Each structure stands twice: as C-alpha cells, then as structure tokens.
C-alpha cells in the first residue's frame, strides 16, 4: 500500500557575408529576428554587387512565466528534444554535452538551463538579476544557435526514467504510468519535469528539474497532486 510520503531530490573563391536585423523590445515577451546571408563573387579585386544566393530565416521566440519567478520558459517554435524527453543542466559543469546549454551559461546571471521537447527554461541566479537584461541575451543566443545548425545535444541521453521496465513490480509500473501520462505533461508546461527515482518501503522518491527544482510552491503543489493520484 502506498503511503502518503514523497521525498524530492533537488537537485575557395567566394566568401559568405552575414548580416542580421533584430527587432527586440525588452519589455515584450517575444523576439523576432531575420537573418540574411549572401555570397559575393571574389574572382576580381572588387566585390560585385551581385546577389548570388539569398537565404532568409525568421524565428519567433515566445516566453511563458512559470510558478518560479526566477525561471522563464522560452519557446523557439521548433523542436528542441524528441517528444517527452527532457534534459536538465543545473550548473555549467553539467553542460559539457550541449553546445546550446554552454552558450546560455555564458550569459551573466544564468544559473540553470533546462530543455524540453519544444522549450528552453532559463533560471536566473536570484531576484537581484533583472529579466530585462537577461531576456535579450537569451533570445539572441537561441536564435544564433539554431541558425548555426549545430546539434543541441552531442553525447548525452535525455532524461526519461519513467519508462516501464520488465523487472518493475505492479505498483512501480502504476506510478511510472501516472507520472508519464498525468503528472509530467503538466509539470513540463511549467518549464520543468519530475522524474522517478525509486519506491521503497512505501516511500516514493522523485527528482524535480527545471523551474520546479527551486520553487517551494511548485514542490508543495506537486507533492499534493502526486499523492492524490497514487493513493
């Protein structure tokens, strides 16, 4: 019988010339950028004003608030990870496997980075760090990264430990199914995730990630929600 007890772990003859026009509003919750690239023929000493190739990309990045005032969810309008997958970078040391995460940690005031299937959650260091200063840098970094064509993740396996295994007992299978179908989608909407750690002696241990990892109100709400589902 599952007790009402849950523990959370915090856990060659041409060159490419680039020009970019960015429209940003520090108070706005969206960011539009248009990048143009063109190639000029350099066979003569003078660059001919002939546009040989033109490639225009537009990215519209939106933001969503989370229950944690120090975390903000950025939606680039394109896939970040595979559906249902998440990846947590609580510090810069954990970002070795992601070029994008490493770039985001270079922004002053960024404490944590979290990836979902279609979003990036940024957690700033504290209340003294102003989102008006951080947001434009995050917008520009995300846009530049997706324009580069680099892989988001290189050698890491995204989180997904709610997968049911053959050796899981009936209760653990039930818990994982509830987490995967009822709990995690809601938490991911808030820019975070909750992962199964273990279930022993009637005690369920979960790991909070992203915006939820440092938000007391989210932890209490989630704890009550999980208890109501599994009891």
Most confident of 26-30, 39-43, 89-93, 217-221: 89-93
Report yes or no on 163 lying in a domain: yes
Scanning 126-195, the segments in alpha helix (DSSP H) are: 131-148, 170-178, 184-189
Report if residue 202 sits inside a domain. yes
| Sheet with 14-23: strands ordered across | 14-23, 30-41, 55-65, 71-75, 120-124, 110-115, 87-89
What is the rounded average pLDDT of the residues 211-221?
A: 64
Cα 121 from Cα 182, distance rounded (Å)? 21
For residue 211, being part of any structural domain is answered with: yes
Looking at the chain, the whole-number percentage of residues with pLDDT higher than 70 is 61
pLDDT for 145 equals 94
Between 157 and 32, residue with greater pLDDT: 157
Residue 169 located in a structural domain: yes
Tens digit of pLDDT for each residue in 81-132? 988 888 989 888 888 889 999 999 999 999 999 999 999 999 999 889 999 9
Q: Pairing between strand 203-210 and 6-9?
A: parallel
In a domain, 210, yes or no: yes
Number of domains making up the chain: 1
* DSSP H or E run through 6: strand 6-9
CA–CA separation, 86 vs 134, rounded Å? Answer: 23
Poorest-pLDDT segment among 27-31, 69-73, 152-156, 194-198: 27-31
From the number of C-beta atoms within 10 Å of its C-beta (0-12, 13-18, 19+), residue 110 rates as: buried
Quick check: 37 pLDDT over 90? no
In order of 74, 80, 189, 231, the CA distances from 77 in angstroms are 9, 9, 15, 37
Which domain covers residue 182, as residue numbers?
Answer: 159-230
| 204 in a structural domain | yes
Residue at 137 is within a domain = no
In a domain, 57, yes or no: no
User: Tens of pLDDT along 130-170?
Assistant: 999 999 999 999 999 999 989 998 875 555 555 666 677 88
- CA distance between the termini of the chain: 8
Q: What is the pTM of this model?
A: 0.60
In total, the chain counts a number of residues equal to 231
Instruction: Give the lowest-confidence range in 47-51, 54-58, 110-114, 140-144.
Output: 47-51
Cβ partners under 8 Å of residue 54, min gap 6:
36, 37, 38
Dihedral sign of CA atoms 33, 77, 80, 123 in order? positive
What CATH number is associated with residue 220?
3.30.300.130
Residue 33 is predicted with a pLDDT of 39
Write down the pLDDT at residue 96: 85
């Amino acid at each position: 019988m599952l007790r009402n007890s849950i523990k959370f772990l915090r856990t060659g003859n041409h060159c490419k010339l680039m020009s970019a026009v960015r429209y940003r509003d520090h108070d706005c919750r969206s960011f539009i950028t248009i990048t143009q690239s063109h190639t000029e023929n350099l066979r003569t000493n003078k660059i001919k004003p002939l546009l040989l190739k033109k490639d225009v990309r537009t990215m519209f990045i939106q933001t969503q608030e989370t229950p944690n005032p120090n975390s903000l969810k950025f939606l680039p309008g394109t896939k970040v990870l595979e559906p249902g997958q998440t990846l947590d970078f609580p510090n810069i040391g954990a970002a070795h496997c992601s070029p994008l995460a490493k770039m985001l940690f270079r922004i002053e005031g960024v404490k944590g980075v979290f990836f979902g299937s279609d979003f990036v959650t940024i957690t700033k260091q504290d209340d003294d760090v102003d989102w008006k200063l951080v947001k434009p840098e995050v917008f520009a970094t995300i846009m530049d990264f997706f324009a580069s064509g680099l892989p988001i993740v290189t050698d890491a396996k995204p989180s997904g430990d709610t997968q049911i295994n053959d050796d899981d007992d009936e209760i653990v299978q039930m818990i994982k199914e509830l987490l995967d179908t009822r709990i995690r989608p809601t938490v991911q909407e808030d820019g975070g995730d909750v992962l199964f750690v273990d279930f022993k002696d009637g005690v369920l241990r979960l790991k909070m990630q992203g915006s939820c990892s440092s938000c007391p109100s989210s932890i209490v709400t989630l704890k009550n929600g999980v208890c109501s589902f599994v009891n």
